[in-house]
Amino acid sequence: MTKEDKNNVLNARKIYYLLFSKLFVFNNTKDRYDGVLDILNIIKQSPLDETSSIGINNFLENFTDFDTLADEYDDIFHAPPRPLHNTFSYYEEGYSSGSACVRVRKILSKTNIRRDEKEFKENEDNIGFVFSLMFDFISYALNKNEKYEEFSKELFKTTINPFIDEFILNLYNHQNSKSYKSICLILQSFIEFERLYYGINKPNYENEKNIKTQNGISRSEMIRREANRARRKAEEQI
């Protein structure tokens, strides 16, 4: 891979992490979702795969406004009786601020980056914060600071890769998930791309405590059903 090709890949990955950080970091600012539609329209031109394309198109076709999206976020992650957990520690150990939080802090201690508590209210193991951190690491790597590429690989390998699939599946199947179902498809495709980029295998969930299915639906079945729904919708419009 040439230097130019590598930079192109880094820039593409940076855009995806920026998208996911905006969609999964909670704050009350008016510019919370600024750039989301622009990013989706950019990656729509060259989607990672069919699943990603379906997710992008579904989101854009059904999008109404960002107030509705923010309400959906709150209904998923904050509303009782069963708000969805959004920390890597929870999916690793069943509670927040656990080992994953310690690992992220150790990686951060090697850098000049620190969590801005005014912007990020949650701890370092929050999934949105980790996506934001990956965006920062790749940005530094693009500025010829190669050690940040090592930090990004360590963060992906130790914290994102082992636990992100269960989070995606739970989010997809959450009763209040609508637009975020489409985001799940984009995120799942991107995670598979990242595994290829880093040469890291998907965890073997058969031999771990991680949940492989929810309500009897696996990730692959989830994606297959969504693809079929999208095809039927397209055929009805012809």
Residue boundaries of the structural domains of the chain? 3-206+213-236
pLDDT tens digits along 163-200: 999 999 999 999 999 999 999 999 999 999 999 999 99
Q: Spell out the residues 6+ positions from residue 76 whose beta carbon is closer than 8 angstroms to its own.
A: 83, 84, 171, 174, 176, 177, 180
Asked whether residue 18 carries a pLDDT value surpassing 90, the answer given is yes
pLDDT score of 213: 46
pLDDT score of 228: 66
Query: 231-234 long-range CB contacts below 8 Å, 24 or more apart?
Result: none
Alpha-carbon distances, residue 75 vs 34, 53, 78 (angstroms): 21, 26, 6
Give the pLDDT band (50/70/90) at residue 56. very high
pLDDT score of 209: 45
pLDDT tens digits along 69-84: 999 999 999 999 889 9
Specify which residues 87 forms β-bridges with.
126
- Any idea which of 2-16, 93-107, 223-237 has the lowest mean pLDDT? 223-237
Place of tokens 């914060």: 129
On whether the CB atoms of residues 125 and 89 are closer than 8 A, the answer is yes
Q: Can you give the pTM of this predicted structure?
A: 0.86
pLDDT score of 212: 43
For the chain, percent of residues with pLDDT exceeding 70 = 86
Q: CA 94 to CA 91: how far, in whole Å? A: 6
Give the pLDDT band (50/70/90) at residue 221. low
pLDDT score of 214: 47
Q: Say yes or no: domain 3-206+213-236 is CATH 3.30.1330.200.
A: no
pLDDT score of 211: 44
- Any idea which of 82-86, 107-111, 215-219 has the lowest mean pLDDT? 215-219
Q: Does 213 or 27 have the greater pLDDT score?
A: 27
Residue 217: burial class (beta carbons within 10 Å; 0-12, 13-18, 19+) = middle
Query: Measured in Å, how far apart are the chain's first and last C-alpha atoms?
Result: 42
Q: Does 86 or 119 have the greater pLDDT score?
A: 86
